[in-house]
Amino acid sequence: MTPDHPRPTLVRREYTLLDGPWGFAADTADRGLPDRWFNSAEPFDRTIQVPYPPEAPASGIGQDIDAPLWYRRDFEHRPTPGQRLLLHFEGVDHRTSVWVNGTHVGDHEGSQARFSFDVTDAVRPGANVLVVRAVDDARDLEQPRGKQDWSDEPHVIWYRRTSGIWRTVWLEPVPAARIDRLALRPGDDLASVTVEARLVGVHGPAASLGLRFAVGGRLLADVTVACLSSTARVVVPLDHECLDVEPGELLWSPESPTLIDVDATLRLNGEVVDQAESYLGLRTVGTDEENVLLNGHPYFLRLVLEQGYWPQTHLAAPSFEALEREAGLIKELGFNGLRMHQTSADPRFLACCDRLGLLVWADTAAAYRFSDVALTRTVAEAVSLVERDAGHPSVVAWVPFNESWGVPRLADDPAQQHAVTALHALLKALDPTRIVMGNDGWQYTAGDVLGVHDYAQQPGTLEDRYGSRERVRSTVARGHTGGRRIALERSVSRAATVPVLLSEFGGLSVHEDAEAWAAYGDVIDPEALGEAIAGLVATIGPGRGLAGYCYTQLTDTAQEKNGLFTEDRVPKSSPSRIRAALLGIPVTA
């Protein structure tokens, strides 16, 4: 695998990153006349470091700008006959328009996932000019924004915005006839793979797709399928003695994150026209009434809340190395996964989780108003993330709603209840191989798992609520958290048939800043942090009533000072002590 590739699950070796210095301007009057923006570099009076958002210090701008943002970048192109040129944006918040050499090549709305344009007909040999306009309305509560604040200054649990270009921009020369998407789904038998390849520019009897599966140099399958339509589908049986004798040796899990390499070759009349590399983890995810199931067996979840925020770059990762280190820190602490909270994960981070063995619960960013516009945008973002991330074995769950954000009258508005139920059903239809939540935290309406947010700071309180299966079911049926019912009355019977996860808890604060916001409890001494976590975890661990938990949170984030690490990733307590607390083992350091 190539985890630092901007699209790790479909890799072609030739590509060009456009990160680095770009011309930048704020169009405060929102004029945007073509002769002003496209024919001269003069209006771009500042320089910004892409992919860092203008609000972030690392961008070189370091200020909030409530106006249309304009970017300009020169690039060179040497065309090859028969090739097309794709321009990929990994993330731009929120409405984007793009021009190449003054030619409008496309528009896009949404911020969380990749979008692309074929710019072949707009580029020319040699020097080219790329211009981007991005509009991110600071006050628009119908726009999915996650934890980006709509106020001038960050408050409570929301923090500064991440506007405009906030992830990698890159160019990819591709064949006119090519593999556009490769979906790889392990079979329920854990001995086969269902392949769905979406093709562009070729189909019919003369087209074929070759697929090779290998692990550690050992060939597992080598098949060729005819491409009679623009989508080729085939079920590929794998051949390895482990599948019969020691099936666990070939399966993917946090304890053994085995990855299978996949090479795809598209041929036309026997001639190779495109090649791409991918990979998969052979694993299944499901539930019974009490447990999350990994590869058919109960698996207790030890997750941590990951905000994906850095002080110098905000929601943009500082570097690939920072993403690698982030995944490594989570693993080092003894967690077996994370919840990517209210922002999409960088695909390279997901590749690190695939490689290290971390389970990822993937949020979609929340809007904060219920309307046709907000719901349409939320659905579009969720669908685009399933499209982008379904190839990552680490991703095991989709979380479309959090704490009734965007559905504030969920308890009594049938339309909002239908919205949660419908989006759960839609995501299950798009991806039946993963867990799909409904509204996480409280007011359970639908979902394969019921998630509860409970920041009780006393172990005895958690023990009373979640210390056994009977207590969990009683709490779910009649309890409240965050001032709201855990399960809506109409959904109590369904809630009794699904596993329960303490999907946010803890929030212990360790900091020296007297003005910092201690979100969920009093500040405790760093030396006592491990002991306090151990006390909480001991009441909700395996064999009691829960299917797992998600601890809040990995790092401090802006004014939220309840991380296990500072925002600069400095541990507040010995990592070995935290690991011992989570795993219930003696402290070794």
**Six-digit token pair at 419?**
């919205």
At CA 536, angle to CA 333 and CA 443, rounded to 5?
A: 100
Estimate to the nearest angstrom the gap between the alpha carbon of 494 and the chain centroid.
Answer: 28
List pLDDT tens digits, range 354-371. Answer: 999 999 999 999 999 999
Mapping DSSP to helix (H, G, I), strand (E, B) and coil, where does residue 236 land? strand
Determine contact, residues 290/448, Cβ cutoff 8 Å: no
- Count the residues in the chain: 589
Q: How far, in Å, CA of 426 to CA of 432, rounded?
A: 10
Which pLDDT belongs to residue 510?
81
Contacts of 285 (CB under 8 A, 6+ apart): 292, 293, 294, 396, 397, 433, 434, 435
Going along 16-125, which residue ranges are E strands? 16-17, 20-26, 46-50, 69-77, 83-89, 92-93, 95-100, 103-109, 115-118
List pLDDT tens digits, range 482-515. Answer: 899 999 999 999 999 999 999 999 999 887 665 6
Q: How far, in Å, CA of 32 to CA of 262, rounded?
A: 46
Which pLDDT belongs to residue 523?
66
Q: What is the dihedral of CA 468, 473, 474, 476, to 10 degrees?
A: 120
Tell me the HSE value of 119 on the side-chain side, using a 13 A CA sphere. Answer: 32
Determine contact, residues 450/439, Cβ cutoff 8 Å: no
- Give the residues across from 118 on adjacent strands: 86
List pLDDT tens digits, range 403-436. Answer: 999 999 999 999 999 999 999 999 999 999 999 9
Cα distances (angstroms) measured from residue 60 to each of 54, 70, 111, 157: 7, 15, 21, 26
Residue-averaged pLDDT of the chain: 94
Tokens 């979609």 sit on residue = 364
Contacts of 71 (CB under 8 A, 6+ apart): 22, 23, 24, 44, 48, 50, 130, 131, 132, 133, 134, 164, 165
- Parallel, antiparallel, or unpaired for β 337-340 and 359-363? parallel
pTM of the full structure = 0.96
